[in-house]
Structure 1
Amino acid sequence: MKIADFELREDGAAKPLDSAQLRRVDGPRLVAIYLDEYAISRDAVTDQLRERLARFIQQTLDPTDRLVVMKPLDSLLAIQLTDDREAARRSIATFEGRKGEYEARNLYEKNFIAGTPARIEAARAQVSLSALNALANQLGASGTGRKALIVVGEGLARPERRRAENFMPTVDTVLRSANRANVAVYAIDPRDAPAADDPASQALRSLASDTDGDTLVGDLDAGLQRVKAELSAYYLLTYRAPHAEDGTFHDVQVRVKRAGVRLRARKGFWAPSPDDALRAGLLARANEPPKPARPPEPMRHASPLIRPWVGLARGENGKTRVTIVWEPAAQVPGDRDRRIASRVVLTALASDGATLFEGPLLPTGPGVVEDGGSPPMRAVFDAAPGRLRLRMSIQNVAAQILDSDVRDLAVSDFQRDVGIGTPAVLRARNARELRLLGGDAAVPVAAR
C-alpha cells in the first residue's frame, strides 16, 4: 500500500503523513514470554499448553530469533535475550499455576510475600508488573523494530498503592514502557471461558489492545504463528506531532481507504514530559562510551642539540603564518657528547589539540634552497592567534631518537592596522650562494 491509502487523525484532527513504509525484518526477531504463575490456576496449565509454547520457540521461531522466558521469581537483573533455547525449554517444562496457592517456595517469598491472602495477592501483582515493565524496557534496549511480549496468565491485577510504593511500576507504567519501546503485548488466557467482567482479565486484554497486540484465543498454534508474521512485516507511518512535550496521552486513529483490508494500530501515545526528556538526556550521556583519555602533556624541554627558529607573519583569514626551521647546535670544543642531530620530527598543536603540522624536517644552513623534495627543510602553516605547542623528536642519521624538544609559543595577532613580523635571515658564504638566495625557495637560517 501507498501513503495515499492511509488516513491518520490525532485527537480528532487529520494529520498529513510524511511516509508509509512497509518494514520487513531482515534480522532476528525479539520475543519475550512471561509465564505468570501467580495469575494462573494449576488446572489451567496443561501439558497441551506447555507443548504449544515449546513448539513455538522450537519450530515457529527461526533459530536466529532472540528470546527470553521469564517467571515471577526470576531476577530482573538476569533478563537476557538469546538464541539459546535450552533455558527457555526448561522454564516452559516447569511452568505451573500457583493462583490461590500461598505456600512460600523460597526465602524471598517467605520474607517479602507473606501475610494474609489479600496482601500476598497484592505483592504478587506488583512482582508481575515489575517483571513486565523490565521486559518491555529490555526489549526496547535490544532493537528498534517491532517486538513481542507474550503474557501467559488469567489476568493482570491492579494492586492498591501504598505511600511507600509510589515509585513501583503500574499497569499504566507498563503501557507507556511498551509503547515507547515499540513492544506489542499478546495475552494468552488458557481458560475455556474467561469471565467477561473480571477486572484482571480486562486489564490484560486492554494492555494487549493498547500496545497494538492482541488476545490469542482459539487455536493457539495459529495465534502464535500470527505473532511471528506480525513481527516479520508491518507498515510504519510517520507524521509530525504539533504539540510540545506535555506528558499527556494523545489519541491516534488510523484508517485504510482500501476495501477488504484489516488494520490494527496503536490507539495513541503518551507524549514525553519535560522530566522524561531530562531523564532520557541524562541516560544518553551516561551510556555514551568514555572518551579516550588524552595522554599527559610532556614537560617543556629545550634540547641542547638543536637551535630552532620560529617566524611569524600575517596569514590568511585572520590567522598568522608560522615558519619553523632548525639547525644543529654548534659543537663545543672538548665536549664529549658526539650526538649530532640529522633531522627532527615536528608536531605543531593548537590550543584545542588540533594538529597543524606533523612531519620530518631536515636542517637548514647558509645558502640552503629547497628543491621541492621530501622531507622539507621548513614547516609553514597558518595558526590562530594564541598558544601553540611545538614538539620535536630529534633523530640522528640512523633515525635513532637522541632527544626531544618541547616548547610553547605565543602566536601574535597580525590583524591590526600595523603589524611587524619576525625578520627572516638568509646567509651566504660566497657569491654563488648569494645568487641562490634571491628566490622564494631560499630557506632562512636559525642562527643569529
Structure 2
Amino acid sequence: MTNSTLWAERQAATPRGVGVMHPVFAKRALNAEIWDIEDNRYIDFAAGIAVTNTGHNHPRVKAAVAAQLDNFSHVCFQVTPYESYVRLAEKLNKLAPGPTPKKTIFLSTGAEAVENAVKIARAATGRPAVIAFAGGFHGRTMMGMALTGKVAPYKLGFGPFPGEVFHAPFPAPYIGIEEADSLKALHQLFKADVDPARVAAIIIEPVQGEGGFYAASPAFMQALRAICDEHGILMIVDEIQTGFARTGRMFATEYADIEPDLMTIAKAMAGGFPISGVIGKAEIMDAPAPGGLGGTYGGSPLGCAAGLAVLDVIAEEGLCERAVEIGDRIVRRCEAIRQSDTGIGDIRTLGAMTAIEMVEDGDATRPDPGRTARIVAQARQRGLLLLSCGVRGNVIRFLTPLTIGFDTLDEGLDALEAAIKASS
C-alpha cells in the first residue's frame, strides 16, 4: 500500500469536508516521530494539533490505559460511576487558577466542552447571550461554529447559527488591532447590539489557536475580567489548545493572574485519548439540574486513566519548564533565519506555542498565504510535519511534543530552514 493509493481510496470513501493537511498516512508513532505506511519518517511539529504534549505513546500513558482495559473500557459514569473520574476531577480542581472551590465535568471533545460551558453559564445567569472574539475557534458544532470568529472554512454553508452570539475584535497589534480597539468595540457592542444584562458569558482563548497564535496580554485578560465582574457576566476561558503545559504553565490563564468562572479543556489532557472537560467555580457548576449535563462517553474510563498519567508526566518531567526552553530554541532559530529573509514578518511564542507569520517584504499588511503553503509542503518533503493557521492563512505554528529530544528538535528546525529557503 502506498500513500497515493490510499489517498485515492480515502477520497472515494470519505467526504471532502474532512480537510487533511498532509497526504501521508500514519502507520506508527513514537514521541516526536511518525512513520507512514511507506515507512518514511517524519518529525512531528504538529502533535495531532496540540494533543500529544507528552509525546506519542508515552510509556506511562500506555501503561495506565492498558491497566484500565484489564478492568473495563466503558460502563458510563451516569450509570455506574468509577473512581478515576473523581480522582481526575479532584486533581484538576486543585490545578485550576484561582482560590474559589471548583468542580469538573468530563466530556469527549473540545466542542462538547464549549457547548456545556455555554449551557452552564446560561443556567447560572438566566441570560441568553454570549460574546466571543473574531479569529477565535471553538469547535464545529452549531454553537461552536456560532462562537467561532472565522467564516472559511468552518461556517460555509452551515447556517443559520444559534442567535444572540456576538463578536468583538481580538487584540493583535501586529496586524493593527490594539487592546484599546478591542475594549472599545466590546463597549460598543453593549451600546449597539446587546444589553450587557442579557449576556451570560464572554468566551476567549488566552492564545488564539486557529486564529494565528496571537496572545491576549495579562492586562487585557484583567480588563476583560473587570468588565465581566461589572456586569455580572461569566468569563469562560477556552484552554483547549493552550492547556496542559503547552504555554509554559499548566494553563495559560495563569500568566494573567485572574480566575475564570469556567474553563474548557481537552486536546492534551489525555495524551491522545478522547476526553474533554469544563472546570468551574463550584456554585456555578451546580446551576444545571441533575440530568442536565452528561453524555454517554463523557469522561471515558480510558480517558480518565490516561489523564491521570498525563498529569504525573507533566509534573515529573518538568514539561512546563521544558515548554519554555523549546519555545526559546525555536524562536532563536527563526530569528536567525529572518536575518536573511524578509518574508518572516513576525515571530511570537508563549512557552512552546510558537508561530511565524509570513508576509511580503516584511510588510504586515501584505500576508503571504501562498508561500506559507509552499513552506508546509517543502517541509513535508524534508521529513517535517507542520501546520498553518491564521485568519489570513499566513501563519505557521509549531506544536512539538514537549517531550521532543533536542537533537530531534534541531533536526526539525534544519528541515524548516531548508523549506523556507526553497519556498522563496
Band of TM-score, shorter chain: under 0.3
Give the TM-score normalised by the residue count of structure 1. 0.21
Larger radius of gyration: 1
Give the TM-score normalised by the residue count of structure 2. 0.22
**Structure ranking higher on relative contact order (CA contacts 8 Å, 6+ apart):** 2
